[in-house]
Amino acid sequence: MAVESGLDRLAAGDDAVLGRLKGRRLGLLAHPASVDRRLRPATEVLAQAGIELRALFGPEHGYGGEAQDMIAVDGESRGGLAVHSLYGDREEDLYPRAEWLGELDAVIIDLQDVGSRYYTYVWTGLCMLERAAAAGVETIVLDRPNPLGGRRVEGAPQRPGYRSFVGLRDVPVRHGMTIGELLSMVAGQEGIDRDALHVVQARGWSRDREQPDTGLPWVLPSPNMPTFDTARVYPGGCLLEGTRMSEGRGVTRPFEIWGAPGLDGAELVRRVPAPGAHLRPLSFSPTFHKHAGQRCGGVQVHVTDPSRFEPYALYLRLIAEARALLGEAMAWRTEEYEYVTDRPAIDLLTGGPEYRELVDAGGALDDYVREDRRAADEFAAGRPLLY
């Protein structure tokens, strides 16, 4: 059965979807990957269905997807519509302003997620839902399949005190849920009025189907998520943001290609087994971001068997071994990270200080990884699911 996103259902003239939207004052939270299966943007699909928008909202990277990571985005105007930015210099800028919501009856969310806790679009959706519900404005999610499928879960939820914009609620790193499911789960946990959220479910999707199995097109949802291969390694690859090593921004395959000046990729490969993947030593020179213009040694992670590939556990081990090879040259990132200044970025990404402390002490990771899997499995068993 062909998979239809929530937007595809609208494009096909689904009466249940159209009836919820027509005649209302609507805003749209979207980005470049908010397209139907024919690659038409959500604004075009809505216009052709006779649905008028009053405002647009853009998440991190901006409505048009031009901004790099952690770059504040200003508001703008497109096609006569105000585009309100939900990513600025302050944490409060993550939330829509009361005056923006005061002109609307409902906000449509159509965002392509990549199935990892640190990918911020789902949290932008949550910030919208919370403020919209408080203002009596309905949130309507045009849901999309999780590109990583919905069965595999990796990485323990955060420990108390380690929430941030790379995890505003306690969920595993690879959570195996859609945006609609995550927002529904949080709404239920926090007592948000049931009438404040409506999810237009994707049709034809089952939890064992990854992006290539859906027939839906891949459009990069952010500047450094160019392909589905990137999304596949991202639950582990994003951990590199918590280090001084390059995560591959400034090359054509970020998060798959990564390393640092002086890192011996061949030795790293010898030290770390990679079930379901081939680690290829290489050298590269980023054109921007960390170590721009410098020669870096490192690896490219090629996924060969997705059923065996566990990106989070693999990158935990790779970073630990890179630390053993580089010593203090592989330092942790300590500057501000997603509005947080009092904890290292790696602690926010892993959900606590335990991993960093273990790596710094040169300890073995086996027990840590085993407990991490147990906690992820426990969460998975209790997830409220829509599909």
Domain count, the chain: 2
Q: Within a domain: residue 367?
A: no
Share of the chain above pLDDT 90, in %: 97
Note down the domain range covering 108. Answer: 6-214
Question: Is a pLDDT exceeding 80 seen at residue 36?
Answer: yes
Same domain, 242 and 206: no
The Cα–Cα gap between 358 and 368 comes to 9
Same domain, 208 and 237: no
Same domain, 158 and 250: no
Q: What is the pLDDT of residue 277?
A: 98
Q: Within a domain: residue 206?
A: yes
> Which among 172, 144, 320 is positioned nearest to 243, based on CA atoms?
320
Q: What is the pLDDT of residue 166?
A: 98
- For 30, 249, 262, 345, the CA distances from 298, given in Å and listed in that order, are 35, 13, 9, 21
Q: What element of type H or E holds 235?
A: helix 228-237
- For 1, 215, 218, 226, 230, the CA distances from 28, given in Å and listed in that order, are 29, 25, 20, 23, 27
In DSSP terms, which residues pair with 283 in a beta bridge? 297
pLDDT in tens, 326-355: 998 899 999 999 999 999 999 999 999 999
pLDDT in tens, 63-85: 999 999 989 899 888 888 999 99
Segment 231-256 shows an average pLDDT of 98
pLDDT band at 29 (very low <50, low <70, confident <90, very high): very high
Q: Within a domain: residue 167?
A: yes
Task: Mark which of 187, 214, 241 sits at the end of a domain.
Answer: 214
Mean pLDDT of the residues in the chain: 97
Question: Is a pLDDT exceeding 80 seen at residue 1?
Answer: no
Same domain, 158 and 45: yes
The Cα–Cα gap between 290 and 250 comes to 8
The Cα–Cα gap between 232 and 315 comes to 12
Same domain, 333 and 198: no
pLDDT band at 223 (very low <50, low <70, confident <90, very high): very high
SS3 of residue 332 by DSSP: strand
Q: Within a domain: residue 259?
A: yes
> Which among 70, 73, 53, 54 is positioned nearest to 62, based on CA atoms?
73
Q: What is the pLDDT of residue 258?
A: 98
- pTM (predicted TM-score): 0.97
Rg of the Cα trace of the chain? 21
Q: What is the pLDDT of residue 329?
A: 85
Task: Mark which of 191, 214, 237 sits at the end of a domain.
Answer: 214
φ, ψ (nearest 5 deg) of residue 53: -100, 145
Q: What is the pLDDT of residue 79?
A: 86
